[in-house]
Amino acid sequence: MFKSCIAAAMNALVLLSTPTLAAEGDPIVIKFAHVVADDTPKGKGALMFKKLVEERLGGKVKVEVYPNSTLVGDADELQALLDNKVQLLAPSLSKFDKYTKKLQVFDLPFLFDDAEAVKRFQNREMSRELLRSMADHGIYGLAYWSNGLKQLSATRALQKPEDAAGLSFRIQASTVLDAQFKAVNATPVRLPFAEAYKALQSGMVQGTENPWSNIVSQNMHTVQPFITESNHGVLNYMLITNSRFWISIPFGVRSELEGIIDEVTQAVNKEAEALNQRDRERIIAAGTSKLIALSPEERQAWRDKMMPVWKSFENDIGADVIRAAQTVNRRR
Ligand code: LMR
């Protein structure tokens, strides 16, 4: 108890004594790095943030956007944020394992009925608390940005869970996703997003999971002849910054930035579903992949195989967090 009081006091001191990181008179530079293309929900959100900041805070704040892993990729972006080499990131909620186990709730397969349910959860008190779940590491959660529900793709038609057996799937670095693919006797292979297309094209892995926007913007549909409309999990983001950097921004400017972030967040979350549907149509028009629909019984079969994963992560995530997430589904 005494120790934790001292630690809290020291943290407060560090925050209070943190200097403004830009020299007086110079604009504050915010490097916003991400791993996807510009024409995706996250890519568009980053560009909208830059535009609004430059319109409203021009001269005081400069935003540089680095898409497509051009500055940092999944493997090193969080460390780069902590080292203040970048100031804004929006990693997928699957990529925070190392800093908090609680966010793994978003990876649990078949937890949310649809993208609207995920949005409802993101607006609940529990999700607000999860924005602070990495505070001890100096990571400050600013907002949730939506992308969409994930689809399974492969070189083979995946109608039943048994069809995935023996295939290798590229996954994000998440222990839940690892367990999810093992549950259907497939082999999960952790790879940075920037390497996913090549791994699929070369045959190093035969399948993966992604929202439509990521499939199209990385051309994955050109090397994945089958896409199952499984909607089995979510790929959304947390917009994060380095706490010390954020607190170093003068209060008035920081409030303006937070107002802009609210505006951009609403726009991203409103448009994400439409962008994904547009990209689904693009895949159909390209004619490269057969889309596989699942009957309610077939979807249930996937659910039955993958759902035992929940139990094995309940202690890490917290039963209360999982329960809170379940309450957003309308049918319960
Ligand atoms: C992935 O690695 O598949 C995603 O997290 C990429 C992204 O940022 O959407």
Residue nearest ligand 1's atom 1 by CA: 193
Residue nearest ligand 1's atom 3 by CA: 193
- Return the ligand 1 atom nearest residue 170 CA: 3
Which residues, including other chains, have CB under 8 Å from residue 203's CB and lie 6 or more apart?
155
**CA–CA separation, 183 vs 164, rounded Å?**
10
**CA–CA separation, 125 vs 234, rounded Å?**
19
Ligand 1 pocket check for 36: Cβ under 6 Å = yes
**CA–CA separation, 72 vs 89, rounded Å?**
10
Task: Please state the rounded mean pLDDT for residues 209-226.
Answer: 98
Among 175, 298, 280, 185, CA closest to 227: 280
Residue that is written with structure tokens 């500055």 in the block: 71
Among 269, 265, 68, 35, CA closest to 173: 35
What is the sign, positive or negative, of the torsion defined by CA atoms of 117, 123, 129, 135? positive
Please state the φ and ψ torsions of residue 256, each to the nearest 5 degrees: -60, -45
Q: How many residues does the chain have?
A: 332
Question: How many angstroms separate the Cα of 49 from the Cα of each of 55, 90, 280?
Answer: 10, 12, 26
Residue that is written with structure tokens 């993966």 in the block: 208
pLDDT band at 331 (very low <50, low <70, confident <90, very high): low
Q: Residue 314 C-alpha to ligand 1 middle, in angstroms?
A: 24
- Return the ligand 1 atom nearest residue 208 CA: 3
Ligand 1 pocket check for 92: Cβ under 6 Å = yes
CA 319 remoteness from chain centre: 22
- Return the ligand 1 atom nearest residue 91 CA: 8
Ligand 1 pocket check for 35: Cβ under 6 Å = yes
Region for 206 from its dihedrals, namely left if φ exceeds 0, alpha if ψ lies in -120 to 50, beta otherwise: alpha
Convert the pLDDT of each residue in 222-262 to its tens digit.
999 999 999 999 999 999 999 999 999 999 999 999 999 99
**Domain made up of 28-328: CATH architecture:** 3-Layer(aba) Sandwich (3.40)
Convert the pLDDT of each residue in 125-161 to its tens digit.
999 999 999 999 999 999 999 999 999 999 999 999 9
Q: Residue 89 C-alpha to ligand 1 middle, in angstroms?
A: 12
In the chain, domain spans: 28-328
Convert the pLDDT of each residue in 277-320 to its tens digit.
999 999 999 999 999 999 999 999 999 999 999 999 999 999 99
Percent residues over pLDDT 90 in the chain: 91
**CA–CA separation, 299 vs 135, rounded Å?**
38
What is the torsion angle, in degrees rounded to the nearest 10, for the CA atoms of residue 43, residue 49, residue 54 and residue 59? -110
pLDDT band at 13 (very low <50, low <70, confident <90, very high): very low
